[in-house]
Structure 1
Amino acid sequence: MRKGEKLRQSIFWSLDFIKGGKIKKHYDDIKNMIEFPENSMSSKKRSRYLKKIMTHAANSVPLYNNINPSNIQNFPVINKEIIKESYNKFQSYKYKNKKKISVSTSGSTGASFTVFQDLNKKARNTADIVYFSELAGYKLGYKLYYLRFWSMFQGNNKVLNWMQNVIPIDVFNLSPHSIKNLIDQIKNTSGNKSMIGYASIFHKICNYLESVESDSVDCNLKSVIGISERLDPSTKKSVKKYFNVDMVSRYSNAENGMIAQQPKCKEYFDINWASYYVEILSLHNNKQAKPGELGRVVITDLFNYYMPIIRYDTGDVGIMSDLIHNNKTRKVLEKIEGRKMDMIRNTSGEILSTSILLLINNYKEITQRQIIQKTKTEYLFKLIVKNKPFKKEDEFINEFKNYLGQNASITLKFVDNIPLLPSGKQQSIINEVKP
C-alpha cells in the first residue's frame, strides 16, 4: 500500500479505536465465523445470535409479544407492507430512547421504506462491508470509484469521501465522452483503485471500450463489485478482458445490509451467515423450499435490536444449495433472480439503470409505480398516488424525458393497485419491445 492509502486506513481504525473499537471487534468476529464455518464455536455463536434476537423481539417488540422464541418458525413471515402498516409495533420499547440511524430504500415494490437501526447494527454493517470488500480485492485506503445515481442520494459528504478516498461518479452523466474521461482519470491517477456500482453501468463501460477497439486498460484496478442489479456473466468476462479484474456481484439491501457476495470466478453467492439467518421459502406458501428449488429469499437480521427484522421476505427469489468442497458442505445461494427485471431503454436504444426508479421518490404523493415500455419511444407509467389529482404531471413527464429522450411519448395512468407476480413480487419495469 502507498503512504496515502496507509494513512487513510490508519485514520479509519484509529477513529474506531477512540470510539471503543466496535467495528474492529465485529470485523474479527465476522472473519472468524465466515472463514471457519465448520468450527463448533462458529456454529454455537450463530445459534446464540439467532436465539438472542428472537428472545429480545418476543420480550420487547409489541408485534412479537405472544410468540414463543424457541423456534424461528414460530415467527410470522413479514414484508415491507406489513412493517409499514404496523410501523410502531416493530420497534423495541427498550431501544426507543437510544440513538438510532434511519436507512431508506425504494425497493422493487416501488414504495419508499425506512428502517431504524441501533448504532451497534450500524457498526456490524460497516464491518460486513469492510470484510466482504476485502474478499473482492479492495482494502481500506484504496481510491474507490463509486458509480451510482448520486443525485438521488443525500449526504454526499465531501470530507467523508476524502477520508474514505471515495470518488462519486453519477451514472446518468455517463455518456461516451464521460466514460472516456473516467477511463483517462483512472489511468492517470496513481495508487491502487477499486470500483463499485450498478452492474448495468459496467456493461455500458465495457461496450464503450469495445466500440473504440480499446486495448486492456492499465490502471492498477484491484476490485470491481456490481450492486443493485443482476450481474451478467458476459459483463464479468468483459471486465476481466479490459481491466484484468475478476468482478463479483454483491447481494445486499438498504434496510438490512450485506447479505451475500460472489467469490471471485464463481457464479454462486457465499451467504453472510455471521450477520444473517437466511431461508428460502416456497413461492406458494411459507414452507421451506427444497434444496435446488426456486423460492423466496427470507432473512433474519441478527443485529438490529432497535427494530428487529425477523423472517423478512426481501421480495427477491433465489435458489439455495449445498456446496461440497474438501469433503465439507456449506449452504450457498446458487442463484439470485430477484433483481432480474426487464431493462428499460431510452429512445436511442441505450439500456438505462433500473435506478431510474429512484427519480419517482422525489414525488412524495406517489406511493407505488410501474414503468412499461410499449414501443421504442412510448412509455406507460402506472402510478398509485395518495391524493388525486396529481398536480405535477407536466413536471414529472419533463423530468423523465431528460433520461428517456426528448422524443419520448410518456403516458401517466393512475390506478388503485398494481398486480403482483405469482411469486408475490411487483414487477417495477416491464419492457414489451421485442429484441
Structure 2
Amino acid sequence: MRLGEKLRNISFWLIDFCTGRDIRKHYKDIEDIIERPHNKKSISKQEHYLRQLLVHASGTTSFYKSYESSDFHNFPIINKEIVKNSYQEFLSGTYKHKKHFSVSTSGSTGTSFTMLQDYNKRKRNTADIIYFSELAGYQLGHKLFYLRFWDMFKKKNKLASFLQNIIPINVFDLSDNTIKNLIEILKNDTSNKAMLGYASSFDKICNYLDSIKAEPINCNLRSVIGMSERLDPSTKLSMKKYFGVDMISRYSNAENGMIAQQPIGEEYFEINWASYYVEILDFTSNNRVGYGELGRIVITDLFNYHTPMIRYDTGDLGIMDEIKENGKTRYVFSRVEGRKMDSIRSTSGEILSTSILLVINKYKEIRQRQIIQKTKNEYLFKLKIENHTFGEEKEFIEEFRGYFGHDAIIKLEYVDEIPLLASGKQRAIVNEVKL
C-alpha cells in the first residue's frame, strides 16, 4: 500500500480504537466464524446469536410477542409487504427511542420501504463489508470507484469520504464518453484501485472496450465486485481480459446487508453465516427444500435489534449446496437467481434459470437485451442491435421457442437503449405475469 492509502487505513482503525474498537471486534468475530465454521466456538457463537435474537424479539416487539423464543421454526415467514404494513409492531420497545440508522430500498424490483437499524448492526455491517471486500482483493485505503445511482443515496460526510477514498460514478450518466473518461482516469492514476457497482455497469464498460477493440489496461486495479444484479460470466472474462483482475459477484440487499459473496475464481457464493441464518424454502409451502434444489432465500438477520427481521423472505431465489473439504461439509449458494418477479417461466410453468441470458451472448450483433414475459406463453425481447440489423432473427426466435415451449409466442422489439430503472439498475428479465 502507498503512503496515502496506509494513512487512510490507519486513520480508520485509529478512530475505531478510540471509540471502543467495536468494528475491529466484529471483524475478528466474522473472521473466526467464516474461516473456522466447524470450530465448537464458532458453532456456539452462531447458536447464541440466534437464541438471543429470538428472546429479544419475543420480549420487546408487538409482532413477535406471541411466539415462543425457543421454537425458531414456529416463527412466521415475513416479507417486505408484511414489514411495511405492520412496521410499528416490528420495532423493539427497548430500541425505538434510541439513536438509529435508516436504510432504504429502491423499490426497483418490488416494494420500497425504509428499515431502521441500531448502531451495533451498522457496525456489524461495516465489518462484514470490510472482511468480504478483503477476500476480493480490496484493502481499506485503496481508491474505490463506486458505480451506482448516487442521486438516490445520502452523501457521505467529508471524513467518511476521505477515509474510504470513494470516487462516485453515477450510472445514469454511463455513456461511451463517460466510460472513455473513466478509463483515462484509471490509466493515469498510479494508486491501488478497486471498483464496486451494479453488474450491468460493467457490462457497459466491457461492451465499450469491445467496440473500440481496446488493448489490456494496466492501471493497478486490485478488486472488482459486481452487485445488485446477476453477473454475466462473460463479463468476468472480459474484465480479466482488459484489467487483469478476477471479478466476483456479491449478494446483498439494502435492508439487511452483506449476505454472500463469490470467492475469487469460483462460481458459488460463500454465505455470511457469521451475521445471518439462511434457509431455502419451497415456493408453495414453508418447508425447506433439499440441497441442490431451487427455492426462496429466507434469512434471519442476527444483529438488527432495532427492527428484528426473523425468517425474512428476501424475494430472491437460490440453491444451497454442500461442499466437502478435508472431510468436512460447508454450505454455500451454488446459485443466486433474481427475484421471483424477475424469473422467466416456460409455457408449462417451469422456472427457467437466468443463465438462459447466456444464450443471447452468441448473437454478436446484440449489444443490450431484456426479456419480458407478458403472459403465460407470450415473450417480448427488447434488443439493442449493432448497426441496427439482425440477420439471425428467425434462428433466434426458434432457439428460444425451444427453451420456452413449442407454443411460445415470441416477439422482438428493437430499441436504441434499454432504459435504467429509477434505482440505476437494469433489469435483464421482467415477468409481468401475476404470480
1:193 aligns with 193
Query: Does the CA contact (< 8 Å) of 1:147 and 1:168 recur in 2?
Result: yes
2:164 aligns with 164
TM-fit CA distance, 1:215: 1.2
In structure 2, C-alpha distance between the alignment counterparts of 1:275 and 1:257, rounded to whole Å: 9
Query: Does the CA contact (< 8 Å) of 1:109 and 1:428 recur in 2?
Result: no
Query: Does the CA contact (< 8 Å) of 2:370 and 2:429 recur in 1?
Result: no
SS in 2 for 1:290: coil
- Label 1:49 to 1:431 Cα distance change in 2 as closer, same or farther (>3 A): closer
Report matched runs for 1:17-416 at 5 Å: 17-107=17-107, 109-338=109-338, 351=368
Query: Does the CA contact (< 8 Å) of 1:196 and 1:225 recur in 2?
Result: yes
Query: Does the CA contact (< 8 Å) of 2:368 and 2:417 recur in 1?
Result: no
> Gaps spanning 5+ residues in structure 1: where?
355-371, 378-403, 409-426
In structure 1, give the amino acid aligned to 2:137: G
In structure 2, C-alpha distance between the alignment counterparts of 1:334 and 1:407, rounded to whole Å: 29
Per-residue Cα deviation, 1:149-198 (whole angstroms, up to 9, x for no partner) = 11222325454322210000011211112111101101110111000001
SS in 1 for 2:63: helix
Return the TM-score normalized by structure 1.
0.80
In structure 2, give the amino acid aligned to 1:154: K
- Label 1:129 to 1:11 Cα distance change in 2 as closer, same or farther (>3 A): same
Return the TM-score normalized by structure 2.
0.80
Query: Does the CA contact (< 8 Å) of 1:202 and 1:235 recur in 2?
Result: yes
Please state if 1:6 is matched with 2:34: no
SS in 1 for 2:338: coil
In structure 2, C-alpha distance between the alignment counterparts of 1:332 and 1:99, rounded to whole Å: 35
In structure 2, give the amino acid aligned to 1:66: S
- Label 1:173 to 1:164 Cα distance change in 2 as closer, same or farther (>3 A): same
- Label 1:274 to 1:217 Cα distance change in 2 as closer, same or farther (>3 A): same
In structure 2, C-alpha distance between the alignment counterparts of 1:65 and 1:407, rounded to whole Å: 47
- Label 1:23 to 1:374 Cα distance change in 2 as closer, same or farther (>3 A): same
TM-fit CA distance, 1:62: 0.7
Please tell me the root mean square deviation across aligned C-alpha atoms, in Å. 2.6
- Label 1:350 to 1:154 Cα distance change in 2 as closer, same or farther (>3 A): farther
In structure 2, give the amino acid aligned to 1:80: K
Query: Does the CA contact (< 8 Å) of 1:132 and 1:261 recur in 2?
Result: yes
In structure 2, give the amino acid aligned to 1:126: T
Query: Does the CA contact (< 8 Å) of 1:201 and 1:353 recur in 2?
Result: no
- Label 1:211 to 1:407 Cα distance change in 2 as closer, same or farther (>3 A): closer
TM-fit CA distance, 1:14: 1.0
In structure 2, give the amino acid aligned to 1:253: N
Query: Does the CA contact (< 8 Å) of 1:101 and 1:119 recur in 2?
Result: yes
In structure 1, C-alpha distance between the alignment counterparts of 2:75 and 2:102, rounded to whole Å: 24
In structure 1, C-alpha distance between the alignment counterparts of 2:28 and 2:125, rounded to whole Å: 13
In structure 2, give the amino acid aligned to 1:338: G
In structure 2, C-alpha distance between the alignment counterparts of 1:162 and 1:351, rounded to whole Å: 36
SS in 2 for 1:297: strand
Task: Report the count of equivalent residues.
Answer: 368
In structure 2, C-alpha distance between the alignment counterparts of 1:135 and 1:113, rounded to whole Å: 31
TM-fit CA distance, 1:376: 6.4
In structure 2, give the amino acid aligned to 1:28: K
Per-residue Cα deviation, 1:56-104 (whole angstroms, up to 9, x for no partner) = 1011111111111112101000001101111100011011121111110
TM-fit CA distance, 1:17: 1.2
TM-fit CA distance, 1:341: 5.7
In structure 1, give the amino acid aligned to 2:198: Y
TM-fit CA distance, 1:276: 0.2
- Label 1:352 to 1:127 Cα distance change in 2 as closer, same or farther (>3 A): farther
In structure 2, C-alpha distance between the alignment counterparts of 1:118 and 1:86, rounded to whole Å: 19
Query: Does the CA contact (< 8 Å) of 2:369 and 2:428 recur in 1?
Result: no
How much identity, in percent, do the aligned residues show?
57
In structure 2, C-alpha distance between the alignment counterparts of 1:407 and 1:146, rounded to whole Å: 22
- Label 1:28 to 1:375 Cα distance change in 2 as closer, same or farther (>3 A): closer
SS in 1 for 2:185: helix
> Gaps spanning 5+ residues in structure 2: where?
345-353, 358-364, 372-378, 385-414, 420-426
Per-residue Cα deviation, 1:336-380 (whole angstroms, up to 9, x for no partner) = 012566899xxx9864999xxxxxxxxxxxxxxxxx978669xxx
In structure 2, C-alpha distance between the alignment counterparts of 1:296 and 1:430, rounded to whole Å: 18
Per-residue Cα deviation, 1:297-323 (whole angstroms, up to 9, x for no partner) = 000000000110000000000000101
In structure 2, C-alpha distance between the alignment counterparts of 1:375 and 1:216, rounded to whole Å: 31
Query: Does the CA contact (< 8 Å) of 2:382 and 2:418 recur in 1?
Result: no
Query: Does the CA contact (< 8 Å) of 2:90 and 2:308 recur in 1?
Result: yes
In structure 2, C-alpha distance between the alignment counterparts of 1:223 and 1:304, rounded to whole Å: 29
In structure 1, C-alpha distance between the alignment counterparts of 2:108 and 2:418, rounded to whole Å: 27
